Amino acid sequence: MTSDKMITHILLQNNYKIQLKDDKKFPIWDTNNHSEFKISSIPDSEFNIEITDIKPKLYYSIFLDNRIKYIKQIKYKKAIYSVIKKSIAEYLQHDNNIQIKEYILKQLENEGKTISQKRKELYSIINEIFKQLFMIENIDQEEFNKIDIDNIDSICKEVYGSKCSNSICHYVSPKSITNISKEDVHESILLFNLKNRSILEDIDKLKKFLKSVNETITNKTNDELRKQFIDHHYTKYILKKYNTALLTNIKDIINDIRKNTVSCKLKIFSLNSNKVININLKNNLLNHFLEEIIRNKFKRFQIFDNIQFEISDEKFIYDEKYEILLRDEDISVNRINEIYKNVKNSFYNNINLFDYNYKSTSFLPKNDKFKNIFTQNSCNSNT
């Protein structure tokens, strides 16, 4: 308060002083519309921070703590998955891809096949579509922090022959087409089984298996042994007419996909050193997509009939006064915030908030074990 009784600052309980804008300063005797002193209403007021203008700087600054980064990664994964579904939905509507769409649907709606059988037989086809439409780009944490998630909402495609390269799309020059064989399809189906994959990756297990089926393993390289393992299973697999027809159908579908090359690809950003978004993110998204179209008939209908399925506030009707709208990412964010709050409380419970010797806010841990809970980059009094 100034000498002329003008309120210019508000002192918070944590000894932090907030300066009021010039047009918000008021004399101590000033009243509101209810004839109440304004100064009396301050404890009941909510303080709104005007953060819109400084938000980009805040996101790229040292004050971006791990909690915010983690929440942003969750939102990115949800945003990119939504674009992936829209991209595949539009891809399947093209006249050149009708046969591909009809084959996938026929397999999905086949009630004689188990979920695991559908998963195993369709994986190669969905994986090929992913290769056509998407590409992995490895980036570091600093680059990821600069991504504007709000702009990840449209599919990648060339417009009137112009190249599509931008922050989330990349133009790839067409390459010569290599057709796949029935043996290649069988190998993909074989290695979809984790047990078979583990045998191929362990030479001792591989030799043990080949001996058990009376295969000769002497004087052979590791690569020759692996090929022998695959050939052994292929010989047994094609004894059934159903399997032979299946390999032929999948081969033809994959070759059709490769024939209709897509040059404008969506970038899927991958953080090598991060456990949430890592080098396997593309595979995680692929498996998620495959499970959805197999298990969820409604999601399948949305994708294969190209129904708009993005979630927006306007899509759901609710009473804003008595109800709130919760999405799945809200639940994840809430859990992260709860953990963060518990750790933060532990931190503040073990410090002297006011150091009266210096008459300023300070952080003085009573217990050494709490000294390194937060670093300057993750949490401090300015955050």
* Last-in-domain residue among 220, 237, 260: 260
Same domain, 30 and 84: no
* Last-in-domain residue among 222, 244, 260: 260
Q: What are the beta bridge partners of residue 55?
A: none
pLDDT of residue 245: 96
Q: How do strand 264-271 and strand 169-171 relate by DSSP bridges?
A: antiparallel
Side-chain-facing half-sphere of 364: CA atoms under 13 Å: 10
Smallest CA-to-CA distance from 59 within 74, 71, 77, 46 is with 71
Tell me the pLDDT of the chain (383 aa) as tens digits.
777 788 888 777 666 677 777 877 888 888 877 777 777 777 666 555 554 554 555 445 555 566 667 777 888 888 899 899 999 999 999 999 999 999 999 999 999 999 999 999 999 999 999 999 998 888 887 888 788 877 777 778 765 555 676 778 888 887 888 899 999 999 999 999 989 999 999 999 999 999 999 998 888 999 999 999 999 999 999 999 999 999 999 999 999 999 988 888 998 888 765 444 444 788 889 999 999 999 999 889 888 887 765 544 455 666 666 666 666 656 666 666 676 676 666 665 665 444 434 344 434 444 454 444 444 444 444 44
For residue 119, being part of any structural domain is answered with yes
**Hey, what amino acid is at 74?**
I
* Secondary structure tally for the chain: helices H, strands E: 14, 9
The separation between CA 295 and the C-alpha centre of its own chain, rounded to angstroms, equals 21
pLDDT of residue 43: 67
Same domain, 230 and 295: no
Same domain, 162 and 265: yes
Other Cβ atoms closer than 10 A to 282: 18
Same domain, 215 and 90: no
Same domain, 78 and 104: yes
Is residue 275 within 8 A of residue 118, CB to CB? The reply is no
Is residue 270 within 8 A of residue 282, CB to CB? The reply is yes
Q: Report the number of distinct structural domains present in the chain.
A: 3
**Hey, what amino acid is at 290?**
L
Smallest CA-to-CA distance from 134 within 177, 168, 185, 178 is with 168
Q: Domain residues for 285?
A: 63-175+261-310
Q: SS3 for 348? A: helix
Same domain, 170 and 85: yes
**Tokens matching residue 280:** 């396997």
Q: Write the DSSP string, 22-56.
A: GGG-EETT-B-TTS-BHHHHGGGPPPPP--TTTHH
Q: Write the DSSP string, 61-94.
A: STT--HHHHHHHHHHHHHHHHHHHHHHHHHHTTS
Same domain, 141 and 270: yes
Distance CA 59, CA 67 (A): 12
